[in-house]
Amino acid sequence: MDKLNIWDELIQAERRLDPAATRQEMLNVSVAAYTGGAITGFLALLLSGWPAASFLTALAILAMVVVTTLFLHTSRRQVPIWVLVAQVPYAAILLSIAVWIDAHSSPGTLALFYVLISLYAFYFLKKWVASSFLLFAATLYASALIAKDVQDWLSQSILMLGSCITVSVVVTLLVKRVHRLATEDSLTGLANRRLWEALIRHEVASANRYKQTLSIALIDLDGFKGINDAHGHLHGDEILQQVSAALREVCRAGDTPARWGGDEFGLLLLKCDTRDARSIVNRLGDELGDIIRISAGIATWEPGKTADEMIREADRSLYESKSERIQIQAENSHTKAAPRLQAQD
C-alpha cells in the first residue's frame, strides 16, 4: 500500500472510529481562529477612522464573531458535527460582508482571512466539500468587490482563490509529511507500531460491520541479538532491511507489513483466515532462506473480538512458540534448509 494512502486511510479511520476526538479538534481550531479574527478586527477598528455607519456594521460583525466564539467554547460537548461544517460558509459570509464595508484597507487585505477558512475546510472535510465551499467563498468575495465598485475585482478574486488553493495544498502536503514521519519506521520504511495498530482497529471495525475474515501475525527474528553482537549493528540493520523487503514481497494488495519494534514485525492480513495466514508466514520463511530464522504468532478475528485482544493473542502465541521451540524447521529437499512455521495442534 502506498505510504500516503496508508496515512490518508489512518486519518479517515481515526475520524470514523472516534468522531468525538475529531469534533474536539475542529472546535479547538475554530475557537482559536475566531478569537484571533476578533482580536485583529477589534484592533483594526480602534486604529482606523471609519465612517459611523461602516464602524457600526463592522462592530456588529465582530460581535457575531465573539458570540460564535463563546458559543463554541461553552458548548463543546453539545455542538454537532454539522454545525462545525456549516461554520465554513458562515465564516465566509461574515468575512465577505467585512470586505464590502471596509472603507480603508486595500481589497486584498481581508482576503488573507479566507486562507484560514480554506485551511480548515481542506484539513477536516472531504476534498469535494472543501472545494465547493472555497468556490462559494470566492463568489462571495467577488460579489463584495463588485458591490464595492472595485475595478479589478476579477483579478483580485482570482488572486484570492489561487492563494487559498496554493496554501491549502502546500500545508496539506507538509502535514502529511509530518504525520508520515510519525507513522513510518525510518530504517525499513514500513509502517510503525502506531500506524499498524490504528489500521488494525479500523479493519476490526470493518470486520464487525461486514463480517469479513481478518488475521494478524507477529514475527520475531530468532537469534537477532547474537547477530548484532557478533557482526555489529550495521549488519543487523541490513538484516532488518532484508526482512522488510521479504515482507513486502509476500504481502498481497491491501495487506500492511510493519515493524512492531526492535526485531519484531507485524502483518495485517485482510480476508485471510488462520490457515492462509500461516501459509503467508511460511512463504516469508522461504523468502528469507538462510538469512535468518523466524518465529511467529497468529491471531484471527472472530465476532466480538477487539483489536487489542487480537494483538495480545498474537503476542501470546509468539511467546509460546518461542518458549516451546516451535520455530522454523528445514523442509528443502535439496541443499539449504528452507524455513517453515510449525503450527501447534
* pLDDT in the model for residue 106: 63
pLDDT of residue 8: 58
Q: What is the pLDDT of residue 108?
A: 65
**Coil, helix or strand for 335?**
coil
The CATH superfamily label for domain 193-323 reads: Reverse transcriptase/Diguanylate cyclase domain (3.30.70.270)
Cell of 24: 474536539
For the chain, the domains span 3-183, 193-323
* Tally of CB atoms within 10 A around 297: 23
Position 69, amino acid: T
Short-list 342, 344, 345, CA closest to 327: 342
Instruction: Please state the φ and ψ torsions of residue 212, each to the nearest 5 degrees.
Output: -100, 150
Strand order in the sheet with 256-261: 256-261, 264-270, 214-221, 294-300
* pTM score, whole prediction: 0.64
C-alpha grid cell, residue 268: 495485517
Local confidence pLDDT in tens for the 345 residues of the chain: 444 455 555 555 555 545 566 778 888 899 998 998 888 878 877 776 666 667 777 888 888 998 998 888 887 667 888 888 898 999 999 999 888 887 556 666 778 889 989 999 988 888 888 899 999 999 999 999 998 888 888 998 999 999 999 998 898 888 878 877 778 888 898 888 888 888 898 889 888 888 889 999 999 998 888 888 888 888 889 999 999 999 999 998 889 999 998 899 999 999 999 999 999 999 998 888 888 888 899 999 998 889 999 999 999 999 887 776 544 443 433 334 434 444 443
CB atoms within 10 A of CB 309: 14
